[in-house]
Chain A
Amino acid sequence: MKEQLEKIKQEALEEIKNAENSQRIDEIRVKYLGKKGSLTSILRGMGALPSEERPIIGKLANEVRQFLEEELKKALNNIKQKELELRIKGEYIDITMPGKRIEFGNIHPLNKVLDEIKDIFFGMGFSVAEGPEIELDYYNFEALNVPKNHPARDEQDTFYISENLVLRTQTSPIQIRTMENTKPPIRIIAPGRVYRSDAVDTTHSPIFYQIEGLVVDKGITMANLKGTLETFAKRFFGEKTKTKFRPHHFPFTEPSAEMDVSCFVCEGEGCRVCKGSGWIEILGCGMVHPDVLRKGGIDPEKYSGFAFGMGLDRIVMIKYGIDDIRLLYENDIRFLKQF
């Protein structure tokens, strides 16, 4: 009996050793340990043994069973691991193949930059104000100190709808409308489409975008104007950006200025973008003229303010190195995909 058990053990071990896959392990388990397995039948034949031998053989048989169970388990783990390794080896893919993408579209570069500028001013407490594009002459000119026959009207080549209705030449009318409707403190930017009857070429478009800003409150000074616009320039063009304010003239501000920023392409060394000067003219600004405040229903003796305006198209063109403004309105999909 003993020898028989030992023999079964050896045979089983041999077979386990040679097993090549998990299926074979199952077969071996059935063959030796299954209901009709050889070990099982030995245990079943124990009744024929003398009673004093029974516990000894029983113990032995159990040991063999446990031993084989262990071995089978070990072998199975080994095989599974090998099988897994094999599978993984066979599943290598070319990770340089292109990814599967949901094709997104894109925001137009003008709006992309506008969004960025809006965000910067939003962070400084500026809301966005809007107004009509077809505007009363009064708001577009008169209220901004540009009466009929003022030379500035010639410079701006206005599209007329009727004698007192124009396509706004600037977004400044929004400033007047805002002052009429809002009590100070006022902090707005007014972006939008503006119109001038310029013939189309690489730098002129009859439709373009302006962003104006207006701040009105008690005690607003020119130092506030500089502080605000310098902050904007640093946020938008980069922390290293320097600014330069030069005196200028606009009918609706007094004092007036133009702001240059140090060229972000060459950092002031001089290049094609800045025409060698190291500076780029970015915006016009000034302290709101008291007549304009009055037109907006605000008492200039109590309040003061500053305003500024810049051309979005020019900024977009400088930022992306676009050399022809027409590209912005042509909407060639190959152009739009670049931003």
Chain B
Amino acid sequence: MKVPYSWLIEYVDINKDIKEVADALTMSGSKVEEVIEYGKEIDKVVTGYVEKIEKHPNADKLRICKVNVGSEILQIVTGAENVQEGDTVPVALHGSTLPGGVKIKKGKLRGVESNGMLCSEEELGIANESDGIMILPKGTPIGVDIKEVLGLKGGILDFEITSNRPDCLGVYGIAREVSATFRLPLKEIKTNFKENKEDIKDYINVEVKDMLCRRYSARVVKNVKVGPSPEWMQQRLMDAGVRPINNIVDITNYVMLELGQPMHAFDYRFINGKKIVVRKAKDGEKFTTLDGVERVLDSSMLVIADEKETLAVAGVMGGQNSEIKEDTTIVVFECANFNGTNIRLTSKKLGLRTESSSRFEKDLDPNLIDIALDRACHLVEVIGAGEVVGGKIDIYPHPVKPYNLEVDPNWINEFIGINISKEEMAEMLRYLGMKVEVKDKLNIEVPTFRQDIKIKEDIAEEIARLYGYDKIPSKKIEGELVEAVLTKEQRLVNIVRNVMVSNGFFEINTYSFVSPKVFDKIRLKEDSPLKNAVRILNPLGEDFSLMRTTLIPSILETLKINYLRDNKEVKIFEVAKVYYPSDNIPVEVLKLGIGMIGKVDFYDLKGAIENILNVFGIDKVDYERDEENLTFHPGRCAKLMVRRKQVGVFGEIHPLVAENYEIEDRVYVAEIDLVPLFEAYKTERKYKPLPKYPAVDRDIAILVKDEVAVAEIENIILKVGKDFVESVKLFDVYKGKQVPEGMKSVAYSIIYRREDRTLTDEEVNVIHESIVKALEEKLGAQLR
């Protein structure tokens, strides 16, 4: 909210630089987002009266002006076309400065002396662009500093007003904060005016049919002469960001900006039946608002109507039908209070947020109406806009009363961690408009404009902020020692991430929502349970509408983004949740997703997984071929089985899926459930004595059929060589020359060792031969 500084100092005598005031207010709770110091860099620019304009003898586009700047008459050459004799304009004198540090000096333009410059709004830094010289209103004094004329001295404060402080939605409310911040008195606002002898009841009647209107007050002004409002009023409106319209509308806006209470003015002529009715709109009712837009209302919206038709959407915007016109002579000033939520919802539905609705939606104090309506009448009198009819309409069935609160000052000191006297607390609160009696406790009467204060903590906040948050000491937490602990899951997630990083993978972070299209992209079967996903009712778009049930599409999407950007060597992983629908709150399950493209194969992926299992101390692991999973290459896909239960799937992505993700390369992906891994995690490790007796190393190379899995060979070796074979290591698999079609050569290094004695060659020979024999019998292996 923009507050001109000059307006603010009308209510508090503060003799401080605007920046200093801004900082102090920010620290006491009214955050100043920006200080706009328009005239700051302007120096030696005054108002001047253009007495005469002549043509330039040497240039068609230039003109020579004789400008009266009070002390003298200057000859100034200008290129502007809009200046006329009799205009008052800003004149930059010799030696003056304009925003941006521009210096103006005497000089000759095409042979004619020019002793200064006529300025545009753009040159003065008060507009982003302008066409021509700024023409000041008629009657503007001559030879005066332009900063004074434009009201630029001091500038404008732009506040961020939090939703709990509707009382600060007007200049006067902010002035009260200034008063409390600097402990200076707040001046009273002038509201005196004369009423005529007539009675408003002879003019108008009001009926409030809906309790969403908590109070409805009105005054009638007659003998109105509609015209522009005075310059000072227009200037303030403009500084606060409101466009001047005419004196009547300007008065309502002025009061709104000053007190935060929106008002509306109706042309009395167009109120049918001389009766105002506050009621709900009819469903589908059409109504043209002041901005010329026809809007469709519904029965949740509150309207101000007469006997026949709607005149205004309550608290949001008036209608064209009763707008103040040039020939308006009688005006009805409305000053009302509406339910904030209703106004907010109406404004949202209509897509129409106004200065008025944005205030009403914060739930204003109904008692603000008294002062606001009087202030409007006072202004009518001050600017001579009309004659106030005697009496007022005031429908206020349930008046809001001040709130009483008793707070222990010692509690406040303890709660905040400070030590100030109860008298000082009382003084602070009084500046905020509260009545305070100091006894053992503070007996506080909270004014109705502070609806946000209800409990002792609210009072504590007022004290703390006026005392200054920066003055509150900083203390360590004392008391019972609290031990920070990591849960097992948190610890293991960290381990998984560290192992993956050591494996050479980069952690990624992807959106949890996916498109329904991904199910087809990864070729899920028709009846796949993964298709049953949690759906967002109001997604950002169909492509972000489902909470993912698998990490695989996210992994593939990330690989795709990289691949298409020519990142062809990519190893990534993510530890993230998937979401399954359930009767109550959806179930969230932690998964590890892995993806890789580049110079890698199935076994690189498997190795990374094995490293995790190894670090976790999980040994009962099996890998089962999975030809059913259509996401993967049927010949290169494995189910990861831990203790006979599937905990994940990994392998090469099916070429059709890779194609769906525009990757013309082999893609390897894994998705692993982390919770069962965490359960299988073994903490205890036992030391095994280092071997005392030497080992015997024997290699074996056999020919087996292609389809024999090496795991079968290893199992036989380990089984037959039990208690003798310490380890078996595959070191070569060969197909091709010298190996018959459909066969492969597999070579192992077997280490024999006994824990209790040194093995003799003979012993090893016997075992080795029986292994060979078993391989021949069970797998049809041939020794090479």
Q: When the two chains form their complex, are residues A334 and B567 in contact, meaning their CB atoms are under 8 A apart?
A: yes
In the complex, the answer to whether B561 meets A331 with C-beta atoms within 8 Å is: yes
Asked if B579 contacts A246 (CB within 8 A), the reply is: no
Stretch of A10-18, A25-33, A148-156 contacting B (4+ beta carbons < 8 Å): A148-156
Complex contact A193–B512 (CB within 8 A) = yes
What distance in Å separates the Cβ of A180 from its nearest Cβ neighbour in chain B? 15
B contact residues around A132 at 8 Å (CB): 585-586, 588
The reply to whether A215 and B477 contact each other, CB–CB distance below 8 Å, is yes
The CA-CA distance from A149 to B364 in the complex, in Å, is 16
Whether A295 sits at the interface, judged by CB under 8 Å, is: no
CB neighbours (8 Å) of A254 from chain B are 455, 457-458, 460-461
Contacts of B547 in A (CB 8 A): 134, 161, 167
CB distance A125 to B457 under 8 Å? no
Distance in angstroms between the alpha carbons of A187 and B544 in the assembled complex: 36
Residues of chain A within 8 A of B29, CB atoms compared: 246-248
* A159-B539, A333-B567 known; A103 vs B469 contact (CB < 8 Å): no
* A-binding segment of B211-219, B481-489, B619-627: B481-489
A244 CA to B468 CA, complexed, in Å? 11
CB of B539 to closest CB in A, whole Å: 7
Contact present for A160 and B538 (CB under 8 Å): yes
| B144-152, B501-509, B736-744: which lies at the interface | B501-509
Q: Contacts of B165 on A, CB cut-off 8 Å?
A: 249
B494, closest chain A residue (CB): A115
Knowing A206-B511, A329-B510, the reply to whether A167 touches B536 (Cβ < 8 A) is yes
Scan residues 417-467 of chain B and give those whose CB is less than 8 A from a CB of chain A.
417-418, 455, 457-458, 460-461, 464-465
Contacts of B417 in A (CB 8 A): 221-224
Residues in A whose Cβ lies below 8 Å from that of B28: 247
Residue of B with least CB distance to A148: B341
Contact between chains at B501 and A217 (CB < 8 Å): no
Q: How far is the CA of A105 from the CA of B573 in the complex (A)?
A: 10
B567 lies within 8 A of A332 (CB): yes
Q: Is A78 an interface residue (CB 8 A)?
A: no
Residue B480 is within 8 A (CB to CB) of chain A in the complex: yes
The verdict on A185 contacting chain B, using a C-beta distance below 8 Å, is yes
Other-chain residue from B537, B573, B577 in contact with A160 (beta carbon distance below 8 A) = B537
Residues of A contacting B329 in the complex (Cβ-Cβ under 8 angstroms):
none
Which residues of chain A come closer than 8 Å to B534, judged between CB atoms? 134, 161
Q: Does A256 contact B (CB under 8 A)?
A: yes
In chain B, positions 514-555 with a C-beta closer than 8 Å to chain A are: 534-540, 544, 547
Say yes or no for A9: interface residue by CB 8 A criterion.
Answer: no
Main secondary structure of the interface of A (DSSP, over half): mixed
Check B588–A197 contact: CB distance below 8 A.
no
Interface string of B559-585 (1 = CB under 8 A from A): 001100101011111000101000001
**Residues on the A chain within 8 Å of B418, using CB:** 223
B115 CB, nearest partner CB in chain A, Å? 37
Answer yes or no: B415 CB below 8 A from chain A CBs: yes
**What sequence of 0s and 1s flags, for each residue 102-114 of chain A, a beta carbon within 8 Å of any chain B beta carbon?**
1111111011000
A110 CA to B510 CA in the complex, in Å? 12
Q: Which residues on the B side are within 8 Å of A228 (C-beta)?
A: 476-477
Q: What is the distance, in angstroms, from B678's C-beta to the closest C-beta of chain A?
A: 14
Please judge, given known A-B contacts A122-B484, A125-B481, A224-B475, whether A337 and B461 are in contact too, CB under 8 Å.
no
Q: Give the complex CA separation of A195 and B534 in angstroms.
A: 15
Query: Which residue in A103, A107, A134, A220 is a CB contact (below 8 Å) of B504?
Result: A103
On whether the beta carbons of B509 and A255 are closer than 8 Å, the reply is: no
Q: Which residues of B contact A152 (CB under 8 A)?
A: 163
Please give, as numbers and ranges, the residues of chain A lying within 8 Å of B539 by CB-CB distance: 159, 197
CB contact list, B339-361 vs A, under 8 A: 340-341, 344-345, 348, 361
Closest chain-A Cβ to B27's Cβ sits at a distance in Å of: 6
B416 part of interface (Cβ distance < 8 Å)? yes
Asked if B465 and A224 sit within 8 Å, CB to CB, the answer is no
Assess whether A333 is in contact with B506, with CB atoms less than 8 Å apart: yes
Q: Contact between B508 and A161 (Cβ–Cβ < 8 Å)?
A: no
B483 touches A125 (CB 8 A): yes
A70-112, CB < 8 A from B: 102-108, 110-111
Q: Which residues of B contact A151 (CB under 8 A)?
A: 163, 340, 344, 361-362
- Which residue from A149, A162, A185, A226 sits with its C-beta under 8 Å from B473? A226
Contact B572–A223 (Cβ < 8 Å): no
Min CB gap B176→A, angstroms: 15
Given known contacts A108-B508, A222-B464, is B163 in contact with A217 (CB within 8 Å)? no
Known contacts: A187-B484, A247-B28. The answer to whether A331 contacts B479 by CB under 8 A is no
CB distance from A325 to the nearest CB of B (A): 11
Determine the residue in chain B with the shortest Cβ distance to A134.
Answer: B586
Say yes or no: is A328 at the interface (Cβ < 8 Å to chain B).
yes
Interface assignment of B26: CB less than 8 Å from any CB of chain A = yes
- CB atoms of B561 and A330 under 8 A apart: yes
Is the Cβ of A105 less than 8 Å from the Cβ of B31? no
Flag whether A315 is at the interface (Cβ < 8 A).
Answer: no
A136 to chain B, nearest CB (A): 7
**Per-residue contact bits, chain B 764-780, to A (CB 8 Å; 1 contact, 0 not):** 00000000000000000
Most buried by B among A105, A160, A330: A105
Are B588 and A246 neighbours in the complex by a CB distance under 8 Å?
no
Contacts of B577 in A (CB 8 A): 133
Q: A128 touching B457 by the CB < 8 A rule? A: no
Residues of B within 8 A of A215 (CB): 477
> Is A282 in contact with chain B by the CB < 8 A criterion?
no
Q: Please encode chain A, from 140 to 177, with 1 for each CB lying within 8 Å of some chain B CB and 0 for all others.
A: 00000000010110100001111001010000000000
Contact: A104 with B504, CB < 8 Å? Answer: yes
Cβ-defined contact, B558 with A221, below 8 A = no
A230 within 8 A of B: yes
When distances are taken between beta carbons in the complex, the residues of chain B under 8 Å from A108 are 506-509
* Residue B131 CB within 8 A of the other chain: no
Contacts known (A187-B482, A223-B475); A333 close to B562, Cβ less than 8 A: yes
A185:B479 contact, CB within 8 angstroms: yes
User: Which of A185, A289, A290, A333 counts the most B-chain CB atoms under 10 A from its CB?
Assistant: A333
Nearest-CB residue, chain B, relative to A229: B474
Instruction: Specify which chain B residues have a CB less than 8 angstroms from the CB of A256 in the assembled complex.
Output: 461
Are the CB atoms of A329 and B511 closer together than 8 Å?
yes
What's the Cα separation between A89 and B588 when bound, in Å?
65
**Cβ of B472 < 8 Å from any Cβ of A?**
yes
The yes or no answer to A245 lying at the interface (CB within 8 A) is yes
Q: A129: nearest residue on chain B (CB-CB)?
A: B487
Q: Please determine whether B588 and A134 come into contact, CB atoms closer than 8 angstroms.
A: yes
State in angstroms the CA–CA spacing of A200 and B513 once bound together: 14
Task: Please measure, in the bound complex, the distance between the C-alpha atom of A110 and the C-alpha atom of B586, giving whole angstroms.
Answer: 26
A126 contacts partner chain B, Cβ-Cβ < 8 Å: yes
Q: A135 within 8 Å of B by Cβ?
A: yes
Q: Once bound together, how far apart are the Cα atoms of A125 and B486, in whole Å?
A: 11
Confirm or deny: A40 has a beta carbon within 8 angstroms of a beta carbon on chain B: no
Q: Cβ of B455: which chain A residues have Cβ within 8 Å of it?
A: 254, 290
User: With a CB–CB cut-off of 8 A, which chain A residues contact B415?
Assistant: 221-222, 287, 304
Question: Once bound together, how far apart are the Cα atoms of A123 and B162, in whole Å?
Answer: 35
Q: Tell me the A residues contacting B by CB distance below 8 Å.
A: 102-108, 110-111, 121-128, 132-136, 149, 151-152, 154, 159-162, 165, 167, 185-187, 193, 195, 197, 199-200, 206-207, 215, 217-224, 226-228, 230-231, 244-249, 254-257, 287, 289-290, 304, 328-334, 336-337
List the 5 closest A-B pairs by CB distance, nearest first: A223-B417, A255-B461, A247-B29, A249-B162, A221-B417
Interchain Cβ contacts under 8 Å between A and B, 19 examples: A125-B477, A134-B586, A154-B344, A159-B537, A160-B537, A162-B537, A167-B536, A185-B479, A221-B417, A223-B417, A226-B473, A249-B163, A255-B457, A287-B457, A290-B457, A331-B508, A331-B510, A332-B562, A333-B562
Report which B residues bind A (CB closer than 8 A): 26-29, 31, 162-165, 340-341, 344-345, 348, 361-362, 414-418, 455, 457-458, 460-461, 464-465, 469-470, 472-487, 490, 497, 500-513, 534-540, 544, 547, 558, 561-562, 565, 567, 569-573, 577, 579, 585-586, 588
- 15 additional A-B residue pairs with CB within 8 Å, beyond A125-B481, A134-B547: A106-B506, A108-B508, A128-B486, A159-B536, A167-B547, A197-B540, A207-B513, A226-B474, A230-B474, A231-B476, A248-B29, A254-B461, A255-B460, A289-B457, A336-B506
